[in-house]
Each structure stands twice: as structure tokens, then as C-alpha cells.
Structure 1
Amino acid sequence: MFAHERIEQIINFLNKEGKVVVKELSSKFNVSEDCIRKDLKSLEKQGILKRTYGGAVLTRKTAHYNDIANRKNVHIEAKKKIAQKAFDLIEDRETIFLDISTTNILLAELISKSNKNITIVTNMIDIIKCFSNNNVKVIGIGGIFSKELEGFVGSAAIESIAKYKVDKAFVGSCGVNIFDRSITTFDVEDGNTKKAIINSGKKVYLVMESKKFYFDGTYKFADIYDINAVISDEQPNDDICNILKEADVDII
């Protein structure tokens, strides 16, 4: 195996697990531990990882801001898995809140094609549109319309949301830092609105791709103790699962 191929695989391990161990990599690639340390030193210079005693951890990144229109067509398969898992949790006669989230659009589409007898509260235009030819009861939350988010946020929306107590709230996020327990987004008004949605839910589910455990937004709107579960496309590494378990947060 060439050095660049080995480094490529090390990066893949980091993205999946969040950390690597020198001894394990040495055994896997059948090279010396010094060789692996040189690989890790090279990756550290590129800002990809931070070396630790006996290994390295993935350097946390700030997610790039994209408006909703640009996010709709990325990571579709992962979002479909999440949407299906969320759909399976919804029971008849429940009232649920669907936050501004491209994953929640896919969840709304699943609901619109089903026979579930539920009420949906939402502040997102695309979600409302999913039920234009459907018998599902939809309650639209007004407020300041954000073109970038294609939904309503701000003080008027927060005041309206506070009047509801829903069975389940499904909330999106730009990133979760499991180590400082923060859940983040980019827009302050969006973050404050998400916080109100969390407060309205008897059970709160964070819907997000597993890669977002390694990214941060710029505005913290909640921490992991505020939610009941994370619904993701795949299980994160054991360290993340253990921290979630300690915080009494399920991973679905």
C-alpha cells in the first residue's frame, strides 16, 4: 500500500470514529508505529487532526453555511434513513412539531403518503406544502419570514410556539459538540425559535446526519440535556454513544 492510500484510509477512520490509535493503525497497515506517527504529524500540519497520547482525534470543523435551497439535494440517502426512523416513532392521534429542516421535509413527505391520523405544527413553508392535498391537520406558525430558511422565525413565531404543547418535536441542527454538550445552528433567530420548539415538546428528537457530531455551527441554542434522543443515519463511535448514554439521551 502506498503512503497516500494509507493516509486516505486514516482520514476515513477519523471521519467515522472521531479518533485513531497508533498501535491499532500500525497493526492494521503492517507498518511501524513511527511510520504511523509521521502520517499523523503530516495530517496535523494540514489541520485535519490533533495528535494525542497514543493516537489522534479529528479536529472539529465549523460547518459551512448554506441556505435551505442548497441543502435540499445533499446527503439525500442519509436524510431518508433518518426520516424513516422518525416516521416509525409517530403514533396515531399525536400532535408533532416539524422544525425548519431538510430532513423534516422528507419526513413530511412520508407522513403525507401514509394513513397516520396526526396533527402537525410547523414553521416551514415546504412542510406545509406537503399537505396541500392531504387530510392531515396542519397548523402553520407565523412570524418573520426568512427567505434563506424558507420558514418563520423570531419573536412572533416564538410567542406562537409557546402556546402549544406537542407530543413529539423533531428539530434540526448544524452540529453537535458532544464534549461541551452544545447543539448549534448559524442564525440567532432560528436558534431562539428552535429553543422554543424544544420547550414545546413532551419528547424532543434531534434529526441529523452522524457526520454532524464533528461539526459546529456558530450559535448554541441548546445542549444535549434538552433533548430525549438523536435520530441519525448511523451509530456514532463508542465515545459519543457513551456520553449520550450518560446524559440519558437515546441514539436511534
Structure 2
Amino acid sequence: MSISSEERKRVIMEQLKQEGQVKVPELSHRFTVSEETVRRDLILLEKEGLAKRVYGGAVLPKLTSYEPPYLQRQKDKAEEKERIGRAAAELIESGDTIAIDIGTTTLEMAKAIAGRERLTILTNSLAVAYHLMESLNGGRFSGKIFVVGGELNPEQQSLSGTIGEHILSQFRVDKAFISIGGISLERGISDYDVDETGMSRRMIEAASRTIVLADASKLGKEAFVEIVPLSQVHAIVSDVAAPKEWLQKLRGHRIQWIEATN
């Protein structure tokens, strides 16, 4: 029985992680699809930066430490991020103290916060802070917003560094909402910037519950800097269902997987 393109891509990525390469004829036989279909899957994975096509198959690309600018990332998978953001916002309850990091997906969550009272929100994202301020002034929710300071990164519209990490270490929050560059069974959650991952790590340490926001392109992907292992994550909100090969480990760590729907 043939499986969907997304499922094939996940299986291909798992094989790439284990063996370092995949071959088109073998994948064609495994998935019971044509070799041309497999090549199209590999082209999509290459466009997402997850694989590098070579003659007869694909290999893992060299690990990248580059992250596109914030405004550019906002346009990528915008609809999926909006769905994830709305689903994540539903996890917020009146009276919560929460931390929100700098990602474009957590920005969509911030935009979706409504109908909640007495929230206390910490963030190191200037974009998140701006939209929260607009919502607060518009009466969409009530509460307080704290912008955690540090060194300004204009491209990513973020504040980070040792000053910000020290400030965050003094707080305790109910929930931390974390946007990532990649998530894998082996390395947990990861991102690109050393300082910004340090801020995300401090938010996780301060939180009773950590919720990761990740669209399908982040699954099976490893970014430059590891933030925390999967064992420190409590829930994952994504636009797709959990990969079947991940289910056992997710259950083992008692991680809740939330699929955002329309």
C-alpha cells in the first residue's frame, strides 16, 4: 500500500539519519511507488534543506548555522504557522504566567491570544511584544507584559545574551512556548543562534510545562545548537500528525502531540 508524500519524506529522513544516504530504487521498492515519485520527494526535501540530492539518491546536507531574517521567515509556511499558533493559544488559561520566545510561529500564537484574563507574559521578541501590546490595548486579553532585555539582533527582532539569561533565571512561569529550527529523536529541539537558544533554554528551565511549536518542515531536522533533549518537552503542537516511528519515544517521554486543524 502506498503512503502519502509527507509520510514518505519522514521515513526517508529517518533512514538518512541512520545510514547517511538513501537510494532511489530501494525507496521505490519500499514505498511501492515509481522512481520518479521518489525523486520528487527528494527534490522537496532538498528545497527544505533536509537532504542533498546525489546521483541515484540523496545524502544528508552539511549542518547549517544560517537562519533567514525574521521578516523572510514570516512568509514561509504562513498558513501552517497560523494554525499552529491558534492551537497553541488555546492551551493558555486565565491567570497563567507564560514565556514566549522569538520564533515566527510563536508570533502567530501571540496574535491569537484572546479572551484570557490576568495573564503575565515574558518575551524577548520585539515583534511578539508589539502584537501583545496591540491586543492588550484593544482589550483582547488582560494582564501584564514584560520584555526581557539584552543585546538587540535587528535581523531577528530579538533581545538575547547573558543579561537576558540572568533576568530569566529569576522567574518561574507556568508555561514556556518555544519555536524551533529543528526537532529530532536524537538531538531533541535545536535552533540556529547561540544566544537565542540560551534564552529559550532559560525559559524552559523556568517553566513547569514546555510547549514546542513546530511545522512539518522542522520534523527530523537538526539545527546548529541543541536547546534541550525531548525528555524536557511536555507537548508539541504541529500542523501534521506525529510520525509513526516517533510514537514509541513520545509515549516514553509522555509528550503530548497536538495536531493543529483548520
For Structure 1 versus Structure 2, the TM-score category normalised by the shorter chain is 0.7 to 0.9
Per the TM alignment, residue 211 of structure 1 is displaced from its structure 2 partner at its CA by 2.3
The alignment status of 1:116 with 2:123, answered yes or no, reads: no
Q: Which residue pairs with 1:3 in the alignment?
A: none
Name stretches of at least 5 consecutive residues in structure 2 with no aligned partner: 16-26, 43-52, 137-141
Given that 1:61 and 1:214 are in contact with CA atoms closer than 8 Å, whether structure 2 keeps it comes out as: no
Pick aligned residue for 1:96 from 90, 95, 98 = 98
Q: Which residue pairs with 2:162 in the alignment?
A: 155
Q: Which residue pairs with 1:77 in the alignment?
A: 79
Q: Which residue pairs with 1:130 in the alignment?
A: 131
Distance, in Å, in 1 between the alignment partners of 2:126 and 2:177 is 16
Q: Which amino acid aligns with 1:169?
A: A
Q: The residue matched to 1:83 in structure 2 has which SS?
A: helix
Q: The residue matched to 2:90 in structure 1 has which SS?
A: helix
Structure 2 CA distance for partners of 1:185 and 1:248, relative to 1, 3 Å: same
Q: Which residue pairs with 2:221 in the alignment?
A: 215
Distance, in Å, in 2 between the alignment partners of 1:62 and 1:107 is 28
Given that 1:60 and 1:215 are in contact with CA atoms closer than 8 Å, whether structure 2 keeps it comes out as: no
Structure 2 CA distance for partners of 1:183 and 1:61, relative to 1, 3 Å: farther
Per the TM alignment, residue 234 of structure 1 is displaced from its structure 2 partner at its CA by 1.0
The equivalences for 1:24-103 within 5 A come to 25-26=31-32, 29=33, 45-46=54-55, 49=58, 59=60, 62=63, 65-103=67-105
Deviation sequence 1:45-87 (CA, Å, 0-9, x none): 448546xxxxxxxx57746521212101110111111111111
- Which is greater in Rg? 1
Q: Which amino acid aligns with 2:191?
A: T
Given that 1:171 and 1:204 are in contact with CA atoms closer than 8 Å, whether structure 2 keeps it comes out as: yes
Q: Which residue pairs with 2:177 in the alignment?
A: 170
Distance, in Å, in 2 between the alignment partners of 1:89 and 1:105 is 15
Q: The residue matched to 1:149 in structure 2 has which SS?
A: coil
Distance, in Å, in 2 between the alignment partners of 1:210 and 1:116 is 29
Distance, in Å, in 2 between the alignment partners of 1:13 and 1:225 is 24
Structure 2 CA distance for partners of 1:181 and 1:128, relative to 1, 3 Å: same
Structure 2 CA distance for partners of 1:146 and 1:13, relative to 1, 3 Å: same
Q: Which residue pairs with 1:229 in the alignment?
A: 235
Q: Which amino acid aligns with 1:239?
A: E
Pick aligned residue for 1:197 from 197, 203, 206 = 203
Given that 1:121 and 1:140 are in contact with CA atoms closer than 8 Å, whether structure 2 keeps it comes out as: yes
Distance, in Å, in 2 between the alignment partners of 1:245 and 1:181 is 17
Deviation sequence 1:169-214 (CA, Å, 0-9, x none): 0011100121x13321111111111111110111001111122112
Structure 2 CA distance for partners of 1:48 and 1:80, relative to 1, 3 Å: farther
Q: The residue matched to 1:138 in structure 2 has which SS?
A: strand
Indicate the percent of aligned positions where both proteins have the same amino acid: 20
Q: The residue matched to 2:107 in structure 1 has which SS?
A: helix
- TM-score normalised according to structure 2 size: 0.76
- TM-score normalised according to structure 1 size: 0.78
Distance, in Å, in 2 between the alignment partners of 1:230 and 1:24 is 29
Question: C-alpha root-mean-square deviation of aligned residues, in Å?
Answer: 2.7
Distance, in Å, in 2 between the alignment partners of 1:226 and 1:48 is 35
The alignment status of 1:239 with 2:241, answered yes or no, reads: no
The alignment status of 1:15 with 2:21, answered yes or no, reads: no
Q: Which amino acid aligns with 1:129?
A: Y
Structure 2 CA distance for partners of 1:47 and 1:165, relative to 1, 3 Å: farther
Q: Which amino acid aligns with 1:115?
A: G
Distance, in Å, in 2 between the alignment partners of 1:11 and 1:89 is 30
Structure 1 stretches (4+) deviating beyond 6 angstroms? none
